[in-house]
Amino acid sequence: MNESPNRNHSRRALYYYIAAILIILVINTIITPMFFKPRVQEVTYTNFLKMVDEGKATKVEINQNRIALLCNKDGKDQIYVTGRVDDPELVNRLVKANVEFSQVVPREESPISKFFNNWILPFLIFMVIGQLIMRFLGPKMGGGNMMSFGKSNAKVYIEAQTGKTFKDVAGQDEAKEALQEIVSFLHDPSRYNAIGATMPKGVLLVGPPGTGKTLLAKAVAGEAKVPFFSISGSEFIEMFVGMGAARVRDLFKQAQEKAPCIVFIDEIDAIGKKRDNGSFGSNDEREQTLNQLLSEMDGFDGSKGVIILAATNRPEVLDKALLRPGRFDRRVPVELPDLQGREAILKVHSHDVRISPDVDYHAIALATSGASGAELANIVNEAALRAVRMGRQIVIQEDLEESVEVVIAGAQRKGAVISQDEKKIIAYHEIGHALVAASQTASAPVHKITIIPRTSGALGYTMQVDTEEKVLMTKEELFNKIVTLTGGRSAEEIVFNKVTSGASNDIEQATKLARAMITRFGMTEEFDMVALETVSNAYLGGDASLRCAPETSARIDEAVFETVKKAHAKARDILNGHREKLDELAAYLLKKETITGDEFMAILKGQNPDDPEPAASDAMQKANPDAVQPA
């Protein structure tokens, strides 16, 4: 049976008080008598007279009951007190000894004041110090005062104060549909209770970073108009063992008191990782917190309307006990938005931005394949910042297109000093990519070519786009993409008969793509449909690892070599067949530094690129950041 948080708080406070009393006891009984001698000492009248006669007294003070003698001993003032005795010769002896005397006697400290100063006052000081320590360390230690160990740090939004509804969430129609049922239950739980249905106790939002998992959770609370508790998984973990478990108990206690409500735990993988076998070095605090979370999810009554929402981008590391039915019953994918979703997200983030009415959101959505909602919001903001820099009060299409390039490849480095010879090599390199891409049937059209360096390190890039959103890629399309990647190096070899380091990124991408075709996509006859590679952390970049024998790994390497070599040879053949156009396009790019897809296609078709109406397809107006080829 779990102890209540109040009992734990009282026990910790009791331990603190006992420790304070023991410290004060040691100070008063051992340290003070050993190192601090009393300033006032009692002596007999005979010794008092002896000290006066010996000249030790510096001052004497007399009243009706007592006599005090002040002397300097070892450089410190010391007071000796004796009882009053009727001695008519006392005054003469004091005058003879040249001792100053008066009728006021310093009073010795009373027993009550001694008790207060030695016991009560130090205890009060300990209490004040404890309060100050808890207040300053409150955010780290779980509260703002001495009783707040184990208090939850969850932010509480009452009613619809999250300020978000489903109207603020775009590009996640499937996720909103899955969560709409929860909103309906929180509005009218009797409909579900009448038929005997219960809502899932927990809903796990899974997806890449920036796709709007936290925003969805706030929108659910805003739609349902119920209290919303928000806390990060890392806030449960503390240096003190048992603190995380206490915070879980406190969080669920608050949620039960405010039911119906929503509890949102962001980055739940911080506490929900798979438990080990208890070997040395295990994180006891994290495991205790996880065990307490599992226990609380089993213990609370879901019919009261307490819904647990959690978000993670590492679902594969979560403990199986956390994902079983009865805990996180429902798993809602929050994936990267598709073409329509990206267009809707751009419009949502443009609501508060002054944008020209003729802006083509569809073109920008095509240009941002694979972008998350957060990245799209950043693109809109970058476009607004660019408009301000250019002295405009409204965002135009050019600003959005440039902001896409800034997010992908970085800002332009107009001040970079590059020699004319190197510029020529870069120009041929980029034209090599573009010419190879335009010469293949299953390849995305060219949108833009530039040799202006970027802050990301790219000396230039070629931008391509598909005419429509693609979900699947054929073997031919993947191979043509590898051919395009080798086009830059091929152009250098043909024109200059030498190679440079500018193709490093192309080589990396081509090798990675060729290996994926063999190990993951099953696009070879030799290995057929055998999975030779596994991908972990799919939402965080996808770390791949081979799962095969060393002999098989060597054969995979040979197949990768053969695929890239074949693509490289095809690229050289294409460029050799269009050598004149290669020189003409490179000279034009070297002159203008940046050319559009229209200009590129006009030269390729033998037309004047400066014609106001160059012959080019509408697809040339689109851009695909996934196809950017850095020099």
The strand order across the sheet containing 40-42 reads 40-42, 76-83, 66-73, 57-62, 100-102
- Amino acid at residue number 399: D
Tokens 């391509």 correspond to: 464
Q: Are 216 and 175 in contact (CB under 8 A)?
A: yes
Q: Are 545 and 534 in contact (CB under 8 A)?
A: yes
Q: For tokens 């979560």, what's the residue?
A: 318
Torsional sign, CA 452, 458, 462, 468: negative
Other Cβ atoms closer than 10 A to 219? 24
Catalytically active residues are 430
Hey, what are 609's tokens? 């690129």
Query: What's the Rg (C-alpha) of the chain?
Result: 40
Residues 6+ apart with CB under 8 A from 588: 595, 599, 603, 609
Three-state DSSP class for residue 113: helix
> Among candidates 305, 308, 306, which has minimal Cα distance to 294?
308
> Is residue 424 a contact partner of residue 583, using CB atoms and an 8 Å limit?
no
Alpha carbon distance 606, 615 (integer Å): 10
End-to-end CA distance of the chain: 65
The C-alpha atoms of residue 528 and residue 1 are separated, in whole angstroms, by: 57
* 19/27 Cα distance (integer angstroms): 13
Residue whose structure tokens are 């952390």: 537
Rounded CA-CA distance 195/268 in Å is 32
Give residue 542's Cα distance to chain centre: 19
Could you tell me where the DSSP H helices lie in 137-205? 138-141, 173-187, 189-195
Partners of 77 in the beta sheet? 72
Q: CA-CA distance, 425 to 586, in Å (whole number)?
A: 9
| Measured distance CA(457)–CA(574) in Å, rounded | 28
One-letter identity of residue 169: V
